[in-house]
Structure 1
Amino acid sequence: MSDMEHPQGPTTNRSIGATVGDNTMLLIPSGQERLNQILSLIDSAQSELALLFYMFSDDVAGNAILEGLTRAAARGVKVRLLIDGFGCGSADAEFLAPLKDAGGHFCIFHPSYGRRYLIRNHQKMAIADRRLALVGGANLDANYLTDQGADRWRDLWLLLDGPAVEELSDYFDDVHAWTTGSRNRIRDLRRIIQRHSHGQGRVSWRFSGPMRRRNPWPGTIAREIDAGKRLDIVAAYFAPSWPMLKRIGRLGLRGTARIVNAAKSDNSATIAAARHTYRRLLRRNVEIYEYQPAKLHTKLYIVDDVVHIGSSNFDFRSLYLNLEIMLRVEDAGFADQMRAYVDAEIADSVRITPDLHRQRASLWRRLKWTLSYWLVTTVDYTVTRRINFGIE
């Protein structure tokens, strides 16, 4: 019996899942289920816990997770927590002190001023005993771990059981060592990203970061879009480079391309930036939708029979600067299930037709969309979020 089937292990959402090779995957689209899963993952750990998150908030969900980590450390589990210095503004040393007092360890990814200052560790992963892992886009924050309220985020995690978890654990070890080391050079970080982005197998990891060239995940998804005939994207932040937009447009002309973007966010500049790209894509038969029920934070990409799930948005920062993690799964059955998931998201979305886009596109709005696209592709989210000058 695998850990996922054991009644003492994490509870599961069995509506969407697959076994590919020796790896079993279960999708977790519910915020409350994500909270249940990570608490159960923590409580089931026997020897080791490794967590890496962009945000770890001092709120009701964050405190529940911290209490679980503290209990784990107190019972002798090796607990390591790596958080991003920008994303975790509320999770300071005082908040995390109980974990340290219980024997756990935490460190903060916060490169020094200069070129490295722009880098964010935007990845999300939780690993128990090098055997079970949660990966995806949701942060450790109450609004990502609930299904209620106007401020909730729509997102995904994937529960993974199999040999791919051991590979992810090795990657975490290297990133943790780089973060805590005395000589954390960027070229060493690039080598870590390249070394752990495996190109073989139907279940494989693709990482990305501040690479000058040969950035593993952007390079992989670009090649697949170039060769693909069917594309589905659900992206919280959609502001890719013009060459990437051209790739999507060419696929739209020869096949089928659907993009689900956000209609609600805490950062309206990202929505405006996405709308700056619509005219070019609509001309090339790309279907565009905006998700309505909640703020969208999902990062899901399906090209033909390949599914990518992880932390990367489809904008310049995620594609070429942030540290990001994506799981690549090549399996027709899983791709079909995930397209059914996209179908359901589209049912809760408004389709952006050429007529609707023209009605919206007043001169003033087009100026705001253009400015937002420039800001989002060149400036950090923490800056653009403060602008929030409205999109309507």
Structure 2
Amino acid sequence: MAGTQLTLLESGVERLDTILRLIGQSKRSIRLLFYMFNSDEAGTRIRDALVEAAGRGVEVRVLLDGFGSGDIAPDFFSGLEQAGGDHCIFHPRYGRRYLMRNHQKLAVFDDQLALIGGANLHESYLSDEGETCWRDLWLLLEGEAVPPAAAYFDDLYHWTITKGSKVKQLRRLVCDHSQAEGALQWKFTSPLSRRNPWVYAIVSDVNEACRLDVIAAYFSPSGSMLRRMRRVMQRGQVRVITASKSDNRATIAAARSTYRRLLRRGVEMYEYLPARLHTKLIVVDDVVHLGSANFDFRSFYINLEIMLRIEDAGFAKQMRGYFEREKADSQQITPQLHRERSTLWRRIKWTVSHWLVTSMDYTVTRRLNFRVD
């Protein structure tokens, strides 16, 4: 694309090699924003590279979610702080707002290069061997699209470390940094807001679409989004790849509760077989949405998420090629197969799971976990 070079990173090894290389070559600043940073072998290698960078004078700041990264030992980043770097936590695991999570994944280097996608800083996302590995994506950006992401990080970091920060301020921050013009737009979701920038963008795109391809590790959209998908099918084609393996069986059950409504309208449904699926990719006509958000209620309305909206026919074609490769490793869920699976007990389990990860999750987070201040 004009002004910005895009490189897709499909393998875990490639992702680990890339982030270590970018940390090693940074000269001025490194900003890391991740849901999960683990103290395993991959996480320790990244931490040590950050310490080395801070030691040579690079400004290093790390912003992590308190729930996703809650298992890190308190002294894990002590070497980074001693070297002049800094890190902070978005909402501690046990706090008033613990169900509102910062699910974003972003790394910015020298305001010139950035990584965005679904993969966390964890061995299972940064390797390709073993049953516990996740299938995921990162996108490497180089060029003029990067500075706005750095500015967003800076404001979010400031909000996080400021005592008494309000959720209303966070919502305003998200809206202020979401872009409405250009072929490449940064989009964010605002916590506990039914109309936030990325949701508005994806709804608008789907409303006009004739072709929709979705790869969603966690697939439990609202009834209104399911109706929009069925209307796209009336105009053209809809294909969805979801997970057959996960760390949360309820999310698979919730996804399967939606299959019947989509299959009846001709939507092609697939389940990815080789590994646990964690990819978040939507291709709507000539528009690509890629980032941290799942195609589910929590990403749409509860979590803090970061997405990149790219309107480019060539890139959309490239990502549809990626979809085709993933489809080749997936099992098609035909209407007959779904009927054979749909025993009474399974239908009950699917329905209850969908309710838990949609209505129940939103209600508990909004009303019981914290008051919006």
Fold conserved between structures, TM > 0.5: yes
Map of 1:254 onto structure 2? 235
Write the letter of the residue equivalent to 2:159: W
1:309-388 correspondence to structure 2 within 5 Å: 309-378=290-359
Structure 2 CA distance, aligned partners of 1:26 and 1:378? 37
Write the letter of the residue equivalent to 2:125: Y
Alignment pair present for 1:201 and 2:185: no
Contact 2:42/2:123 (<8 A) preserved: yes
Structure 1 CA distance, aligned partners of 2:193 and 2:51? 40
1:242-321 correspondence to structure 2 within 5 Å: 242-321=223-302
DSSP 3-state at the match of 1:285: coil
- Of 182, 186, 201, the match for 2:167: 186
Q: Which moved more, 1:244-253 or 1:286-295?
A: 244-253
Map of 1:390 onto structure 2? none
The count of residues paired between Structure 1 and Structure 2 equals: 362
Unaligned runs of 5+ in 2: 365-373
Q: Please provide the CA RMSD for this pair.
A: 1.4
Contact 2:100/2:191 (<8 A) preserved: yes
Alignment pair present for 1:153 and 2:134: yes
Contact 1:209/1:215 (<8 A) preserved: yes
- Of 131, 136, 149, the match for 1:168: 149
Structure 1 CA distance, aligned partners of 2:194 and 2:341? 38
Contact 1:50/1:126 (<8 A) preserved: yes
DSSP 3-state at the match of 1:110: strand
1:287 CA drift (Å): 0.5
- Of 172, 177, 180, the match for 2:158: 177
Map of 2:196 onto structure 1? 215
- Of 77, 85, 101, the match for 1:104: 85
**Structure 2 length normalisation: TM-score?**
0.95
Contact 2:175/2:190 (<8 A) preserved: no
Structure 1 CA distance, aligned partners of 2:271 and 2:200? 26
Contact 2:30/2:61 (<8 A) preserved: yes
Contact 2:269/2:332 (<8 A) preserved: yes
Alignment pair present for 1:129 and 2:129: no
Structure 1 segments (4+ residues) deviating >2 Å: 111-114, 211-214, 378-381
Structure 2 CA distance, aligned partners of 1:29 and 1:226? 29
Describe the superposition over 1:139-193 as per-residue Cα deviations: whole angstroms up to 9, x where unpaired. Answer: 0000000111110000000000011110000000010000001121001000111
**Structure 1 length normalisation: TM-score?**
0.90
Contact 1:57/1:141 (<8 A) preserved: yes
Write the letter of the residue equivalent to 2:37: F
Structure 2 CA distance, aligned partners of 1:122 and 1:133? 17
DSSP 3-state at the match of 1:55: coil
Unaligned runs of 5+ in 1: 1-19, 384-392
DSSP 3-state at the match of 2:127: coil
Map of 1:225 onto structure 2? 206
Contact 1:154/1:295 (<8 A) preserved: yes
- Of 40, 51, 62, the match for 1:81: 62
Map of 1:13 onto structure 2? none
Contact 2:193/2:302 (<8 A) preserved: no
- Of 39, 45, 56, the match for 1:58: 39
Map of 1:6 onto structure 2? none
1:268 CA drift (Å): 0.8
Q: Which moved more, 1:92-101 or 1:274-283?
A: 92-101
1:371 CA drift (Å): 1.0
